[in-house]
Amino acid sequence: MKILGIITEYNPFHNGHQIHLQESIAESGADASICIMSGSFLQRGTPALINQWARTEMALEQGVNLVIQLPISYSIRSAEHFAFGSVKLLDATNIVDSLCFGSESGKIQPLQFLGQLLAQEPPQLSELIQKKLESNLSYPQARAAAVGEYLQKQNTEIDLSQHQIAEILHNSNNILGIEYIKALTKLNSSIKPLTIQRQGADYNTQHLEQVSSATAIRKQIKKYQENNDPLITDQLQETMPATTVNILEKEFTAGRGPIYPQDLSNPLLAILRRNSRAKFKNYEDVRGGLENRIKDAALNSSSWVELINKIKTKRFTQTRIQRILAQILLNLKENSLREFDQAGGPLYFRILGFNQQGKELLHKIKSQGDLPLISRVANHFKSNYQPQNLLQKMLSFDVQATNIYNLAYPNHKWKPGNSDYKQAPIIKA
Annotated binding site for ATP: 7-20, 102, 173, 198
CA angle 341–424–398, rounded 5-degree value: 25
List, in sequence order, every beta strand (DSSP E) within 284-342.
Answer: none
Say if CB 73 and CB 336 are below 8 A apart.
yes
- Residues contributing to the annotated binding site: 7-20, 102, 173, 198
CA 242, chain centre distance (Å): 24
Q: How far apart are CA 310 and CA 293, in angstroms?
A: 8
Quick one: DSSP state of residue 347? -
Q: How far apart are CA 181 and CA 158, in angstroms?
A: 17
DSSP 330-346: TT--HHHHHHHHHTTS-
Q: How far apart are CA 68 and CA 85, in angstroms?
A: 12
Q: Position 3: which residue type?
A: I
Q: How far apart are CA 211 and CA 241, in angstroms?
A: 11
Contacts from 363-371 at CB under 8 Å and sequence distance 24+?
A: 364/93, 364/95, 365/93, 365/94, 365/95, 368/93, 368/94, 368/95, 369/92, 369/93, 369/94, 369/95, 370/92, 370/94, 371/89, 371/92, 371/346, 371/347
